[in-house]
């Protein structure tokens, strides 16, 4: 049996990259679980075309929401060519009935727990329509080898996963539902073996919160220190309260942390289920992290119902005042399966359900206190000002722990911003058309505010 595993791009017409930061981890995990007698070809469509004429028997496509339409198009073409198609990933997990219309089989949840059975069923001609293994243990997690792609110059950072599961249940996030509320761990010795065998020196930890279990994080960081690697990951700002854990992270090679600020509005922070819910608490935590030479990469979200035109300036002032190294400026995206999606759909506030626009940057709904166009333009102008040469230089002296990393992050962010500015007129025209065509019925909360 010959297997083709694909990570689709969002839009084949705009695919132009020759390399990417890191590979799609799920595909390499499945390749590691596949018996050696079954050759596996992995394709990252962002950097290479899909070989439609490849001699294969089984095609697996892993997709998020934004690249689901492309995955469905590829699935249709492979099915037309007589191939068996399996769909998996976040979007098929949330909407399995939709995915089943495009595939022979759909994996719901984490594929590691069902992949061997799926392959065996296929070989015996009894492939099931769906496979589901909720929250499999990670103690048998198979180390994958992405370093071959690194040697070819395709990837620059090796992804690592040490935990899954999230105890938080944010309205706009589906991680809690997909991976469960309990945090599960890959044994530390397995992680260390993988880091060593990969041959790499730069890693990205994909855990939603690498310090979610402080005891596990301490053990991991102590074991990583002798490896002399550099790594970045995601963490909650409450991490800054634990000075010992901060020191261990820095000593183990932590160069930067991606932190989800979401909002810096005092009123919005009070509504979030976070341990740090005041602006002064956020600023104190940021100062503590930066004191250990850790670069902070913040994620902010615009478009909550409490947000107004003044939110953009308030956010920009916070980021500059606290010398944040770099930031992602996202639009609230109502992913299917989340409470945010259900609330906006019930209120008839969705502008489109064309999934390719559910990408963190496109406005797909009617905001509470501004127009869709005001939200889109406000986000872009905030990003443009934050990535200006003046702003980058002004923040530089406060991020000298990893100066080259700081400059690389900001040069990349500035380039992406320029691309979005270039494409904005076309995007704005499409958004205006959606606003004009969609009859929006006010929700009960909107009527109550009126």
**Residue 443, pLDDT score:** 38
Counting residues of the chain whose pLDDT is more than 70, the rounded percentage is 88
pLDDT at residue 267 in the model:
62
Query: What span, in angstroms and rounded, lies between the C-alpha atoms of 139 and 7?
Result: 26
Q: Where are the domains of the chain?
A: 3-132, 147-436
The yes-or-no verdict on residue 129 having pLDDT over 60 is: yes
pLDDT value of residue 156 = 72
Which structure tokens are listed for 61? 């496509």
Q: Is a pLDDT exceeding 80 seen at residue 38?
A: yes
Q: What is the pLDDT of residue 418?
A: 96
pLDDT in tens, 234-258: 998 888 889 999 999 999 999 999 9
**156 vs 208 pLDDT, higher one:** 208
Average pLDDT over residues 105-121: 95
- Looking at every residue in the chain, the average pLDDT score rounds to 88
In the predicted structure, residue 175 carries a pLDDT above the cut 90: no
Q: For position 157, what pLDDT does the model report?
A: 82
Could you tell me the CATH superfamily of domain 147-436? tm_1862 like domain (3.80.30.20)
pLDDT at 165: 84
Sheet bearing 3-7, strands edge to edge: 40-44, 3-7, 58-62, 84-88, 105-108, 130-132
Higher pLDDT, 440 or 119: 119
| pLDDT number for residue 138 | 83
Average pLDDT over residues 11-33: 72
pTM summary value: 0.89
Q: What is the pLDDT of residue 380?
A: 97
Average pLDDT of span 367-382: 96
CB 249 within 8 A of CB 224: no
The model's pLDDT over 263-276, given as tens digits with 9 standing for 90+, comes to 887 666 555 555 55
Q: Is the pLDDT of residue 22 over 90?
A: no
The fraction of the chain above a pLDDT of 90, given in percent, is: 69
Q: What is the mean pLDDT of residues 109-133?
A: 95
Per-residue model confidence (pLDDT) at position 444? 38
pLDDT for the residue 272: 53
pLDDT score at 143? 54
Q: Please give the pLDDT value at position 145.
A: 56
Tell me the HSE value of 213 on the side-chain side, using a 13 A CA sphere.
18
Q: Quick one: three-class SS letters along the chain?
A: CCEEEEECCCCHHHCCCCCECCCCHHHHHHHHHCCCCCCEEEEECCCCCCCCCCCCCEEEEECCCCCHHHHHHHHHHHHHCCCEEEEECHHHHHCHHHHHCCCCEEEECCHHHCHHHHHHHHHCCCCCCEEECCCCCCCCCCCCCCHHHHHCCCECCEEECCEECCCCCCCCCCHHHHHCCCCEECCHHHHHHHHHHHCCCEEEECCCCCCCCHHHHHHHHHHHHHHCCEEEEECCHHHHHCHHHHHHHHHCCEEEEEEEEECCCHHHHHHCCCCCCCHHHHHHHHHHHHCCCCEEEEEEEECCCCCCCHHHHHHHHHHHHCCCCEEEEEECCCCCCCHHHHHHHHCCCECCCCHHHCCCCCCCECCCCCCHHHHHHHHHHHHHHHCCHHHHHHHHHHCCCCHHHHHHHHHHHHHHHHHHHHHHHHHHHHHHHHHHHCCCCCCHHHHHHC
Tell me the CA distances in angstroms from 168 to 177, 180, 210, 423, one per residue in order.
10, 10, 14, 36
Give 384's pLDDT tier (boundaries 50, 70, 90).
very high
Per-residue confidence (pLDDT) for residue 403, from 0 to 100: 94
CATH class belonging to 3-132: alpha beta
pLDDT at 269: 57
Q: pLDDT for 419-434, tens place per residue?
A: 999 999 999 999 988 8
Give the residue from 21, 19, 111, 104 showing the smallest Cα distance to 63. 111
305-327 per-position pLDDT tens digit: 999 999 999 999 999 999 999 99
Does the structure show a pLDDT above 70 at 14? no
Q: Are 1 and 123 in contact (CB under 8 A)?
A: yes
Main-chain dihedrals φ then ψ at residue 334, nearest 5 degrees: -80, 80
Per residue in 40-87, pLDDT (tens digit) is 999 999 888 999 999 999 999 999 999 999 999 999 999 999 999 999
């Amino acid at each position: 049996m010959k297997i083709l595993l694909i990570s689709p791009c969002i839009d084949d017409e705009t695919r132009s990259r020759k390399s990417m930061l890191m590979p799609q981890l799920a595909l390499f995990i499945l390749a590691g679980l596949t018996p050696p007698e079954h050759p596996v070809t992995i394709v990252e469509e962002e950097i290479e075309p899909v070989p439609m004429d490849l001699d294969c028997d089984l095609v697996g496509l892993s997709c998020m929401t934004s690249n689901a339409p492309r995955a469905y198009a590829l699935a249709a073409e492979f099915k037309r060519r007589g191939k068996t198609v399996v769909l998996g990933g976040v979007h098929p997990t949330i909407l399995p009935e939709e995915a089943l219309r495009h595939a022979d089989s759909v994996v719901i949840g984490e594929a590691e727990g069902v992949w061997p059975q799926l392959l065996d069923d296929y070989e015996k001609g009894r492939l099931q329509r769906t496979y589901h293994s909720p929250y499999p243990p990670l103690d048998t997690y198979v180390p994958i080898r992405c370093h071959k792609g690194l040697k070819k110059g395709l990837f620059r950072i090796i992804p690592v996963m040490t935990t899954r599961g999230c105890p938080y249940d944010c309205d706009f996030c589906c991680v809690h539902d997909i991976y469960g509320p309990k945090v599960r761990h890959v044994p530390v010795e397995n992680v260390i073996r993988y880091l060593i065998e990969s041959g790499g020196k730069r890693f990205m930890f994909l855990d939603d919160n690498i310090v979610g279990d402080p005891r596990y994080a301490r053990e991991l960081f102590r074991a990583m220190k002798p490896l002399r690697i550099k790594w970045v990951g995601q963490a909650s700002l409450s991490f800054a309260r634990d000075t010992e854990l901060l020191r261990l992270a820095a000593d183990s090679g932590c160069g930067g942390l991606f932190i989800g600020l979401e909002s810096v509005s005092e009123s919005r922070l009070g509504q979030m289920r976070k341990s740090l819910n005041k602006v002064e608490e956020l600023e104190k935590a940021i100062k503590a992290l930066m004191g250990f030479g850790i670069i902070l990469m913040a994620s902010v979200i615009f478009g909550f119902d409490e947000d107004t035109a003044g939110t953009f300036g308030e956010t920009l002032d916070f980021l500059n005042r606290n010398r944040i190294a770099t930031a992602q400026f996202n639009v609230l995206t109502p992913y299917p399966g989340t409470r945010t999606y259900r609330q906006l759909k019930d209120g008839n506030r969705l502008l489109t359900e064309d999934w390719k626009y559910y990408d963190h940057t496109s406005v797909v709904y009617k905001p509470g206190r501004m127009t869709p166009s005001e939200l889109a333009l406000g986000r872009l102008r905030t990003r443009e000002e934050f990535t200006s040469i003046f702003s980058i230089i002004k923040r530089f002296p406060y991020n000298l722990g990893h100066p080259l990393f700081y400059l690389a992050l900001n040069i990349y962010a500035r380039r992406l911003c320029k691309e979005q500015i270039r494409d904005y007129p076309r995007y704005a025209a499409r958004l205006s058309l959606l606003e004009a065509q969609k009859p929006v019925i006010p929700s009960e909360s909107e009527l109550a505010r009126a």
